[in-house]
Structure 1
């Protein structure tokens, strides 16, 4: 791990243009979740450990309404900034775990009970965690 000029850790493996775009999309989705007060926001680089996607964005919403609001904020940010719509989405009607699949980036917005039960962080624990530019190091 290498630090940039602001002291934040950076990925020391060069990214391809597609990975770079996927990373910026993932960070955009994370920031959109933060705008709606999503909790425990985490971006995992899973490209080296899975063929499913390059990045996962994992967020906690503390009510079904907030889960939906976070999801809508993410969808709007992806469409506004990258002209991207999800390839598929699941769980919006229930609002306890919403998955937005952009192909190279998959976001998971979960209620606390689902996040604790499925523990995606532990399952993908060997994936690299990206620092989030909008969080101080103590928050990440």
Structure 2
């Protein structure tokens, strides 16, 4: 099984929204083979808490406006160090760059296929530890 077209479209819209708010090191993993609960993990970094909050707000706004979607779950927005937005088929992790480095989700999911987000300049982090 692979990620659905709808999940890929959702991830691309969310990625574009994050990129518009200076999200960094965007990467999406097709985790559908490994997890029954979701198809895609989208991971985004930001340099500070304010940027994390701005990215979260823009992703939510864009997915609501374009697809009529609201997250079924939102966690971590009080501290804005690592905010998780759960859209069922797509789970978006917006992390302060220090949390991103510490928890290294890329290392955990590196064996999963990457999804092309259609953002030419949003290259994934180069180190895969």
Instruction: Tell me the TM-score normalized by structure 2.
Output: 0.90
The total of aligned residue pairs comes to 124
Structure 1 position 32, deviation (Å): 0.6
5+ residue gaps, structure 2: 125-129
Q: Does 1:84 align with 2:61?
A: no
Matched, 1:30 2:8: no
How much has 1:134 moved relative to structure 2?
2.1
1:43 aligned onto 2:28: yes
How far did 1:113 drift? 1.1
Q: Which has the higher contact order (CA 8 A, sep 6+)?
A: 2
Residue deviations 1:86-137 (CA, integer Å, cap 9, x gap): 0000011100000000011000000111111111011111111112212158
Q: How big is the alpha-carbon RMSD for the aligned residues of Structure 1 and Structure 2?
A: 1.7
Query: Is the Cα contact below 8 Å between 1:38 and 1:59 reproduced in 2?
Result: yes
Question: In structure 2, do the counterparts of structure 1 residues 55 and 14 end up closer, same or farther at CA, with 3 Å as the change threshold?
Answer: closer
TM-score (norm 1): 0.83
Contact 2:2–2:30 (8 Å) recurs in 1: no
Runs of at least 4 residues of structure 1 off by over 6 A?
none
Does structure 1 residue 64 correspond to structure 2 residue 49? Answer: yes
Alpha-carbon separation, structure 2, partners of 1:72 and 1:92 = 10
Name the CA distance, whole Å, in 1 between partners of 2:62 and 2:83.
16
Is the Cα–Cα contact under 8 Å of residues 60 and 110 in structure 1 kept in the other structure? yes
- Which structure's CA Rg is the greater one? 1
Is residue 27–residue 43 contact of structure 1 (8 Å, CA) maintained in 2? no
